[in-house]
């Protein structure tokens, strides 16, 4: 079973907030009044409030945890959320062991849990690296690069990619030397791909090609409100070529920063990747 931190945060904020509110409006004043009256009758030693005026443990915990949980929920829902890269489908851009931050603001603000957009801000662009809820199992998060926008015709013929009938330029830049959990793609060809944006600019990024591996061929038109995504590790990525499009409502946000890297397999930290921007 997947651990749903967002659900836990929402429930935690609700419960601690309700307890804090009830104590502030009703329980607390009643408790202090009873303690004061008992003190006047000489039933409680010490000051007029006495020990009986102290809040129960669950109220004290709610007072302490509510602002913390609320701050975490707001930051995670509307600003940025951390993720860990568990697979090599986005190599060489992202490696196994990378910990990344995802911008939750760029594509509009969404309510937690129901993910309904309440404030449109911007739209995904071709070339963005995005985290999204896998359409076939929304409890699982995937990360890929947006290749096709709504209305685009995407054609993939082996390792050649066409957008709206135009070949996406690539050039060979070398061979990939993978280490640790990334060694399986060692020797793959590294190509620089120039993805065109609709505003005329180009997103330059590296992809991996492993000669001899079977790859799919096809041509699709991206429906309205959906996106076509692919991994930068083109010959080892479970992406839109196999299962279709990503609805806009499934988008979590745009990956923009590697904030840590830790290889669980050998316990090594790659300090050189910390702070790298994701392009």
| 3 state SS for 165-182 | CEECCEEEEEECCCCHHH
104 catalytic residue (yes or no):
no
Report the distance separating Cα 31 and Cα 205, nearest Å.
64
Q: CATH 2.10.109.10: which residues of the chain? A: 81-273
Catalytic residue among 77, 104, 110, 144: 144
For the chain, residues with pLDDT lower than 50 are 1, 45-50
64 catalytic residue (yes or no):
no
Catalytic residue among 89, 104, 110, 237: 89
Instruction: Please write the tens of the pLDDT for every residue from 141-181.
Output: 999 999 999 999 999 998 899 999 999 999 999 999 876 66
Report the distance separating Cα 159 and Cα 209, nearest Å.
8
State the DSSP string of 88-108: STTTTTS-TTEEEEEESSTT-
- Architecture of the domain delimited by 81-273: Ribbon (2.10)
Which pLDDT does position 49 carry in this prediction?
44
Strand 160-163 to 98-103 pairing: unpaired
117 to 75, 103, 104, 145, 265: CA distances (angstroms)? 16, 15, 11, 22, 39
Which pLDDT does position 250 carry in this prediction?
94
Which pLDDT does position 52 carry in this prediction?
61
Report the distance separating Cα 30 and Cα 115, nearest Å.
40
Handedness of CA 226, 231, 232, 234 (dihedral sign): negative
Max CA-CA distance within the chain? 91
Site of tokens 């651990």:
3
């Amino acid at each position: 079973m997947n651990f749903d931190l967002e659900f836990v945060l929402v429930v935690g904020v609700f419960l601690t907030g309700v307890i804090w509110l009830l104590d502030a409006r009703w329980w607390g004043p009643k408790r202090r009044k009873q303690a004061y009256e008992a003190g006047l009758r000489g039933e409680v030693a010490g000051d007029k409030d006495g020990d009986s005026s102290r809040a129960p443990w669950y109220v004290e915990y709610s007072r302490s945890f509510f602002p913390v949980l609320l701050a975490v929920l707001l930051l995670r829902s509307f600003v940025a959320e951390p993720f860990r890269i568990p697979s090599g489908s986005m190599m060489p851009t992202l490696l196994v062991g990378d910990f990344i931050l995802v911008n939750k603001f760029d594509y509009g603000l969404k309510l937690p849990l129901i993910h309904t957009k309440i404030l449109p801000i911007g739209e995904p662009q071709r070339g963005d690296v995005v985290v999204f809820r896998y359409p076939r199992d929304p409890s699982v998060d995937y990360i890929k690069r947006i290749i096709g926008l709504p209305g685009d015709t995407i054609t993939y013929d082996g390792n050649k990619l066409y957008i709206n009938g135009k070949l996406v330029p690539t050039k060979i830049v070398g061979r990939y030397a993978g280490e640790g959990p990334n060694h399986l793609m060692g020797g793959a060809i590294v190509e620089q791909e120039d993805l065109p944006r609709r505003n005329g600019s180009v997103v330059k990024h590296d992809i991996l090609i492993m000669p001899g591996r079977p790859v799919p061929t096809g041509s699709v038109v991206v429906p309205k409100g959906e996106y076509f995504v692919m991994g930068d590790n083109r010959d080892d990525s479970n992406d839109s070529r196999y299962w279709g499009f990503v609805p806009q409502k499934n988008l979590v946000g745009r990956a923009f920063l590697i904030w840590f890297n830790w290889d669980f397999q050998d316990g090594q930290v790659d300090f050189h990747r910390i702070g790298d921007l994701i392009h």
